[in-house]
Chain A
Amino acid sequence: MSSSLSFCLSVTLNPTMSEKMFIIGNEALGRAARAAGARAFYGYPITPTSEVAHYWAKQACSEKGVKDKLVFLQAEDETGAGFMLIGGVLAGTRSFTATAGPGHVLMQDAFAMAEAMRVPVVAYINQRGGPSTSTVIYSQQEVNLACYGGNGNGYRVVYSLATLQEMYDYGIKVFNTAWKYRFPTFLLGDGYLGKMMGEVEVYAPEERGIKMEPTEAYMLERNRTRPMAEIMPEPNYQLRSVDGVDYDCYRNCLNMEEQAMAVNTEIKAAFDLVAPEIIEYEEYGDQDADDLIVAHGIVSAAAKVAIDDLAKRGVKSRLFRPITLRPFPVEELRRAAKTAERIIVPESADNQLARIIKDALCGHIQAPIVEYGRPCASILPREIADLVTSKK
């Protein structure tokens, strides 16, 4: 697929304005990171995400990339890449990685540390088949891993994407979410989105009034504007001031149960406080419809097509699409589900999204939940339409 990078039809509307390009999703991600002012990529090749690395490697060795001091580092494995990413962020550089499947499994080691220490790592994750090595292109089986991987309690932000344009839009946004709130922040795509070629409008953030969050270093920052004590769980951090110099010292190995509980409690409090600001969702279709489809990612795009097709046949249906899987729009889903007579959950996994939905709706609705789990297999609009028209 690397050849597709050079096969890039672009139509320049105006050199100072946005530009429509015909590119694959992974290139859209790479371009988004560049537009967002990211400076460092640490990663390890894996299908279906490798083209993000290809794009960044080319950027880094270009004349402009050298001038901008871009960093590209292909690690020895994803575990190494994850910790290099932490190092880059600690140094105050807008840094990111891109991975998938088994690589994503390995990176959760580093992401657990990032979660414990409020380190705003950014990862573009294109889900592939699982468990194990499995298929290399498509699934929705990394929901559990992205939302709840590691040995913590899932305090990270996970956006689930449905279109190529979102790969670009959220590819920029993810950095601001990470650095503003200081949680690991992930974009969850899949191999179809990563490899699919289509029209994407690329732009500079400032053209849309998007201001990038500053990235202050965690270590060797001698002109700190935001005290780290405001961000870090208290047991994990010491500020040592000597002769007018502040030394920032971080740890994650703790001695006492009380300290470990304090870390978790503080992270949870910080997460719960900002969750309402972060939550995103989308509703589609006839809001009076009895049948409510709940789907995320590319399956939600299929659901929209199904809803439009059904409407043409006079059948009402509607979609609730969580854009953030963590934090999850719990209250918003409850409101939407309250008037539904049936809730249909199609996903390319078995009980990953459905479990989150059941957790959110438990005790709040009487309507039955119809689960349509197709682990690692695509779901066509026709299948979703059939679910709606099937006998209740």
Chain B
Amino acid sequence: MNDQDIKLAFPKCARLASKPHKFCPGCGHPEVLKALGFAIDELGLQKKTAFGVDIGCSLLAWNYFNLDSIETHHGRTIPTMVGFKKANPDAICVAYVGDGGAYAIGAGHFLNAAIRNENITVIVVNNAVYAMTGGQEAPTTLPGMKVATAPCGADQYYMHAPELVRNVNPTAFVARGITTIQVGLRKMIKEAIQHQLDGKGFSFVEVLSQCPLNWKTMDKPQATFDFLEKEMAKTYPVKYY
């Protein structure tokens, strides 16, 4: 690929100097970020976006874009963006969080931001594990899945976040996408940000994403995508809510 090809392959708001990215080989995060970047480009919002990134693998997104960006604490990106939006309603506030950050340590912030219909966009990457810290059990780990803190298999309970948000907020934009359907994911994220632009309140996209490292499928790409598209998508339906 020449420089021009590389440029065309990335969103305009992406920071090419930081490529290749720092995520693990095969990680789904860059796919989610690309979709987000193209959505921001298409809406012409690069100069208006305040991009908040959580701790966990999502923190590496700090380096991905040329956007005004803030890295916060684990689980605290949603309230930081809520506070920012209240103080500057003209900003487009995007909170980029992992499933541990949004659904465990930051669950109170996530749920209450949804209940209050805060006019921000939350993108949660669901890869069924805590990835950065070494593959521990998350609220999204599938029943029976063997992970570092559940070596005998994860328990039977897991979180259906889009379903939960829809339950507490009838007007929010809620959708679940998947990294392997890029066009659909980009459309979902664009619609979520448009929802914020229109001042309609909370918009939320959960994205099913692969983690070959912690799924222990680094050398088995077919197994990675089988798990993502067959197992995860079965438990977590990809659709608008």
Contact = CB atoms under 8 A, between A and B. Distances in A.
A116 B46 CA distance: 27
B79 A220 contact: no
B84 A219 contact: yes
Contact of B76 (A79, A88, A220, A248): A79
A249 B68 contact: yes
A81 B76 CA distance: 10
Nearest to B75: A79
Contacts of A113: 72-73, 76
A305 interface: no
Given A86-B80, A87-B80, A245-B47, A40 B68 contact: no
Given A92-B88, A219-B50, A220-B91, A250 B70 contact: yes
A83 B88 contact: no
Interface residues of A, number: 41
A109 B81 CA distance: 16
A83 B47 contact: no
B83 A76 contact: no
Helix, strand, loop or mixed for chain B's interface? helix
B46 to A, nearest CB: 8
B83 A95 contact: yes
A320 interface: no
Contacts of A17: none
A88 B86 CA distance: 7
A177 interface: no
Interface in B80-128: 80-88, 91, 108-109, 111-112
B91 A240 contact: no
Contact of A91 (B15, B67, B83, B109): B83
A361 B37 CA distance: 57
Interface residues of B, number: 32
A75 B79 contact: yes
A218 B72 CA distance: 14
B71 A84 contact: no
Contacts of B88: 91-93, 217, 220
Interface string A69-93: 0010101110111111111101111
A71 B71 contact: no
Contact of A85 (B66, B72, B83, B109): B83
A87 B79 contact: yes
B241 interface: no
Interface string B40-74: 00000011101000010001001000111111110
A250 B87 contact: no
A152 to B, nearest CB: 13
Contacts of B48: 220
B217 to A, nearest CB: 27
B71 A220 contact: no
Q: Which of B79, B87, B88 has the most A CB atoms < 10 Å from its CB?
A: B87
A73 B73 CA distance: 20
Contacts of A83: 72-73, 76, 79-80, 83, 109
Contact of B68 (A80, A85, A109, A248): A248
Contacts of A251: 59, 62, 69, 71
A240 B66 contact: yes
Given A76-B108, A220-B48, A251-B59, A87 B68 contact: no
Contacts of B55: 253
Given A76-B108, A220-B50, A250 B69 contact: yes
A76 B68 contact: no
Given A76-B108, A84-B79, A249 B86 contact: no
A73 B86 CA distance: 9
Contacts of A392: none
A247 B128 CA distance: 33
A226 interface: no
Contact of A250 (B71, B73, B81, B91): B71
Given A85-B83, A87-B84, A93-B87, A252 B71 contact: yes
Contacts of A95: 83, 87
A75 B79 CA distance: 8
Contacts of A220: 47-48, 50, 68, 88, 91
17 contacts: A39-B87, A73-B86, A80-B76, A80-B79, A82-B79, A84-B80, A86-B83, A87-B85, A87-B86, A88-B86, A91-B83, A92-B87, A95-B83, A219-B70, A220-B48, A220-B68, A251-B71
Interface of A: 39-40, 42, 71, 73, 75-77, 79-88, 90-93, 95, 109-110, 113, 217-220, 222, 240, 242, 245, 247-253
Given A87-B79, A217-B88, 14 more contacts: A76-B111, A80-B108, A83-B76, A90-B70, A91-B83, A92-B88, A113-B72, A219-B69, A220-B47, A245-B46, A247-B66, A249-B67, A249-B70, A253-B55
